[in-house]
């Protein structure tokens, strides 16, 4: 019987022919083995979970400037016509053009949390939003972005609060919270140029943030309604930043004051505005009855220190008892002034 296995080719084979014959084999073997070796993952669980915990995060830049009227200045403007009140309030801080310069991309962050008409006081007033956008545009802003991550369904919230139509009519762009627009944020670590400084918050370290509008923006203005809140007492300009976060924020209620006191650490906005043209005094933060809404004190409050603005705003809810703990916490951490005696308040009617 002949040999069944021969290791020599039955026919003469030239080198060039062999290259042609075996070239593909050798290339595939080298490419496949090389790819496998190059992509080899030798990590054990220790390294895997360390890497997972240290996965890439984004940081926020500072959006704040020095308040030309002094850091503790807040403007309290009483009146009925939103556009007049907004202009007068900005002027009290030295004029909006000290904060917004031509070419800026400005994120305006209203509270759009609930699918309710504006009269219910559960969301920022569309007239105030509209007035702010107009003022910002007059300062030469290139784009005005309006964004929030509502609790209720986002499209419905923006339409039924009237904030979406008002933003578009005034020349703003609404950015809706699509999942791909969220990224993990290193809370408390702020970017100035190439430098990143700061420590994580007391309660928040890494958290999913609605990053897309923050990435595009060069300036940020928060506009919060003044509302009762079932757990933390009041929802005002500090709590407003809750709406830029995603993920399991229903866990925030386990340490609500720590979380809210982390917000002035997390974001340094250019300006914050408390919209008290309507005040939701009961059944907050959702409300649901016109009887819960106080329109008799119509005013807006503007400042650069959200703790100071909220310390003033607390009084508008006319409660007995201590102010929300998050104000004192923020003060203790040097994140703002909660003592109204130390706040430079300029108050008038228009």
Partner 1 sequence: MSEPVPPAVPATEPVAAPTPAPETPSSLPAGGWLRVTRLRVLTQTFFFLVFLAAIWLTSFGRLRGWPTSLFLEMDPLVGLTTLLTTGTLYRAMLWSILLFVLTLLLGRVFCNWVCPMGTLIQFTGWLTGRRRTDQQRIALSRYRKFFQLKYLLLAVVLGAAVFGSAQNGWFDPQPTLYRSFTVGVLPILGKLGVPVSVRPHEHQFAWLVLGMFLLIVGSAAWIPRFFCRTLCPLGAFLGFLSRFSLARIDRDPAKCVDCDLCLKTCEGASDPQGALRKSECFVCFNCIEDCPYDALSFQWLPKRGREVTNPDVGRRSVIAAAALGALFFGISRTSGETTKNWSKTAIRPPGSVPEKDFLARCIKCDQCIRVCPTNVLQPAWLETGVEGVFTPVMNMRMGYCELNCVLCGTVCPTGAIQKISLEQKHGQGEWASVGPVTSGTAFYDRGRCFPWAMDRPCVVCEEVCPVSPKAIYTRDVVIQDRWGNPVTLHRPYIDPSLCIGCGICEHECPVADERAVRVTAVGESRSKERSLLLESGNTGQRAVPSEVVAPVGDTPFEGQDPFRSDEPG
Q: Which of residues 179-198 bind partner 1 (CB under 8 A)?
A: 187-188
Size of the site for partner 1 (CB under 8 A): 71
Does 259 help bind partner 1 (rule: CB under 8 A)? yes
* Distance, CA of 296 to chain centre: 31
Q: Which of residues 308-327 bind partner 1 (CB under 8 A)?
A: 317-325
Strands 271-280, 219-229: pairing is parallel
- Rounded to the nearest whole angstrom, what is the least distance from the CB of residue 249 to partner 1 in the complex? 9
- Rounded to the nearest whole angstrom, what is the least distance from the CB of residue 30 to partner 1 in the complex? 9
Rg of the chain over all Cα atoms, to the nearest angstrom: 28
CA pair distance 350, 223, nearest whole angstrom: 20
- Per-residue binding string, partner 1, 51-80, x by CB under 8 A, is -xx---------------------------
Nearest Cα neighbor of 299 from 86, 117, 2 is 86
Contact 132, 223 (CB under 8 A): yes
Contact 224, 272 (CB under 8 A): yes
Does 203 help bind partner 1 (rule: CB under 8 A)? yes
Contact 288, 116 (CB under 8 A): yes
Does 33 help bind partner 1 (rule: CB under 8 A)? yes
Does 24 help bind partner 1 (rule: CB under 8 A)? yes
Contact 110, 163 (CB under 8 A): yes
Query: Which position among 14, 39, 56, 193 is part of the footprint of partner 1 (CB under 8 A)?
Result: 39
* 4 vs 334, beta carbon nearer partner 1: 4
* 172 vs 233, beta carbon nearer partner 1: 233
H runs (alpha helix) in 82-192? 82-92, 126-138, 154-160, 163-169
Does 14 help bind partner 1 (rule: CB under 8 A)? no
Query: Which position among 233, 243, 264, 285 is part of the footprint of partner 1 (CB under 8 A)?
Result: 233
Instruction: Give the bridge partners for 344, in sequence order.
Output: 73
CA pair distance 294, 278, nearest whole angstrom: 6
Instruction: Give the bridge partners for 210, in sequence order.
Output: 182
Contact 337, 347 (CB under 8 A): no
Query: Which position among 32, 70, 103, 140 is part of the footprint of partner 1 (CB under 8 A)?
Result: 32
- Per-residue binding string, partner 1, 266-295, x by CB under 8 A, is ----------------x-------------
Query: Which position among 14, 15, 42, 341 is part of the footprint of partner 1 (CB under 8 A)?
Result: 42
Query: Which position among 16, 40, 193, 194 is part of the footprint of partner 1 (CB under 8 A)?
Result: 40
């Amino acid at each position: 019987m002949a040999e069944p296995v021969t290791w020599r080719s039955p026919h003469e084979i030239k080198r060039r022919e062999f290259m042609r014959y075996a070239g593909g084999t050798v290339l595939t073997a080298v490419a496949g083995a090389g790819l496998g070796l190059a992509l080899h993952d030798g990590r054990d669980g220790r390294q895997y979970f360390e890497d997972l915990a240290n996965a890439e995060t984004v940081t926020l830049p500072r959006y704040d400037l020095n308040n030309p009227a002094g850091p503790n200045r807040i403007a309290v403007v009483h009146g009925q016509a939103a556009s007049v009140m907004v202009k007068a309030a900005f002027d009290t801080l030295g004029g909006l053009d000290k904060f917004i310069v031509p070419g800026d991309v400005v994120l305006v962050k209203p509270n759009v949390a609930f699918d309710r008409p504006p009269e219910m006081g559960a969301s920022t007033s569309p007239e105030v939003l509209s007035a702010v956008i107009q003022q910002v545009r007059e300062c030469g802003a290139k784009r005005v972005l309006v964004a929030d991550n509502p609790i209720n369904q986002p499209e419905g919230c923006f339409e039924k609060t009237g904030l979406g139509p008002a933003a578009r009519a005034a020349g703003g762009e609404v950015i809706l919270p699509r999942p791909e627009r969220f990224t993990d944020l290193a809370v408390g670590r702020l970017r100035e140029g190439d430098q990143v400084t700061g420590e994580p918050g007391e309660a928040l370290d890494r958290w999913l943030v609605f990053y897309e509008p923050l990435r595009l923006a060069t300036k940020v203005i928060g506009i919060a309604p003044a509302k009762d809140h079932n757990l933390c007492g009041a929802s005002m300009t500090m709590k407003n930043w809750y709406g830029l976060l995603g993920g399991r924020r229903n866990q925030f209620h386990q340490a609500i004051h720590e979380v809210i006191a982390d917000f002035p650490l997390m974001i340094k906005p250019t300006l914050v505005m408390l919209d008290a043209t309507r005040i939701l005094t009961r059944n907050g933060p959702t409300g649901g009855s016109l009887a819960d809404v106080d329109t008799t004190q119509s005013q807006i409050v503007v400042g650069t220190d959200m703790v100071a603005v909220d310390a003033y705003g607390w009084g508008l809810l006319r409660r007995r008892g201590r102010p929300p703990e998050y104000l004192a916490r923020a003060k203790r951490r040097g994140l703002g002034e909660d003592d109204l005696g130390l706040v430079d308040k300029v108050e008038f009617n228009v």
